[in-house]
Amino acid sequence: MLACIDMTEKIVKMRVFGMTCDDCVRAVTNGIKSKEGVIDVRVSLSDGSAVVRIDTDKVDPHELEVLPVFTKTRYRAQVREVADS
pLDDT digits (tens, 9 = 90+) for 8-65: 999 999 999 999 999 999 999 999 999 999 999 999 999 999 999 999 999 999 999 9
Distance between CA 12 and CA 43 in Å, rounded? 12
Distance between CA 47 and CA 70 in Å, rounded? 17
| 3-class SS of residue 77 | strand
Q: Strands 38-44 and 49-55, how do they pair?
A: antiparallel
Indicate the burial class of 54 (C-beta count within 10 angstroms; 0-12, 13-18, 19 or more).
Answer: buried
Fold of 9-84: Alpha-Beta Plaits (3.30.70)
Give the pLDDT band (50/70/90) at residue 85: confident
Give me the residue spans of the domains in the chain. Answer: 9-84
Contact between residue 15 and residue 78 where contact means Cβ atoms under 8 Å apart = yes
pLDDT exceeds cutoff 50 at 7: yes
pTM for this prediction: 0.90
